[in-house]
Amino acid sequence: MSRDGAGRARRDEASVAAGPGAGPTAITPARGAPSGRVLLPWRTLPFPVDWEAVFGASGPLHVEVGFGDGRFTVRRALQEPRARFVGLEVSSGSVQRALRNVRRHGVTNVRVAKVGAEFALRHLFDRASVASIVVNFPDPWPKARHEKNRLLRPGFLRLAADRLVPGGEVRLATDHPDYLEFARANAAATGLYEELRPPPPPAVFETKYALKWREQGKPLHYVVFRYGGAPAPTFPHLERPTEMPHALLKGTLPASAELSKTVAEHGGGHVILHEAAAVMPGAGARGRWLVRATVDEPDLRQQLLVLVEQRQPDEVIVRLETFGDPIVTPAVRGAVHEVTEWLARGTDLEVAERNY
């Protein structure tokens, strides 16, 4: 597993660029990714994902968090060809290495997603749909003040129970005794799991980090938390909007306006407006600005562009740009709100309509 995987700050980064935008943009999520595509375009898919469409097959669905170079995932996929495996990772380097590993071995029952574990489990997977969740050598976050960053917190374990089938398992391998006890205590506190201590599958201790720790003489630990099927808290999926959030303002876009760095709380996260830039006009082009924003939420971080454009002689539109396939969350809607309020405060434009 990559030490930049489970438990680290979520760093889903969307590339941003300017593009034409005459008005509100409709969003039509695809039903499922092409069944042969290894890297999952999860931002374009409906929530929860239709995994049968993605794989082109049914079968037990297994999730691995922080898969590193993918060697454990590939080995399992080769041993269980009728099962389906989804690897979650936030490190771009690990994703690239895993993709090469999957293609080198010719496995067809693995999909890879560059996304944080908590967001993915909550929104990409349906209730009672996952057979196992594998967490091999997560970042232990050993300092007490960083404990909140550990993956196997009570909230995550409750979410996992909601997504696991009865009898499904959370399987943990770690070299860190404190993390082991942390996970055991949290699993017991939920009242949803039975703790098992089976012999680890040999491949677990042949991963990149397992080999490293074993060479250093560190003890390696393996524990399984089996979900017994008791009622678990429900975690709703994020609704996908049919069009991008936007606002309409009356008036004419001025030549410029001053924007100071703005930080505001929205939807349990933070919106940061960094800067605004005018788009170089083409022939017959109306005034267009792009505002660069960061939206930082507990399980997802996104870089965004918010478009400001003179749509009609007396009408300006503010809307989220579609480039980079941003995920529309409450805090992302907050970014559109903050840009709208900036224009209303700092220019002669008047808000006529809010659609966010």
Which of these, 68, 56, 134, lies nearest to 101 by C-alpha position?
Answer: 68
The whole-angstrom separation of Cα 173 and Cα 133 is: 12
Q: Element (H or E) spanning 306, and its range? A: strand 300-312
Answer whether 323's CB lies under 8 Å from 244's CB. Answer: no
Residues 194-217 as b/e (b if ≥16 CB within 10 A, e otherwise) read eeeeeebbebbbebbbbeebeeee
What distances in angstroms separate CA 280 from CA 213, 252, 285, 290, 296, one per listed residue? 54, 18, 9, 11, 29
Active site residue 178: no
3-state SS assignment for residue 92: helix
- Alpha helices (runs of H) in the chain, residue ranges in sequence order: 51-55, 71-79, 92-105, 117-123, 154-163, 177-190, 208-215, 330-346
The single-letter code of the amino acid at 173 is A
The whole-angstrom separation of Cα 339 and Cα 209 is: 45
3-state SS assignment for residue 275: strand
| Catalytic annotation, pick one of 139, 162, 175, 299 | 139
Answer whether 310's CB lies under 8 Å from 288's CB. Answer: yes
Taking phi first (over 0 means left), then psi (-120 to 50 degrees means alpha), and beta for anything else, what does residue 75 get? alpha
Listed in sequence order, the residues at least 6 apart from 102 whose beta carbon sits closer than 8 Å to its beta carbon are 38, 70, 73, 74, 77, 110, 112
Strand order from edge to edge, sheet including 315-320: 262-266, 269-278, 288-297, 300-312, 315-320, 246-250, 350-355
- For the annotated catalytic residues, the residue numbers are 139
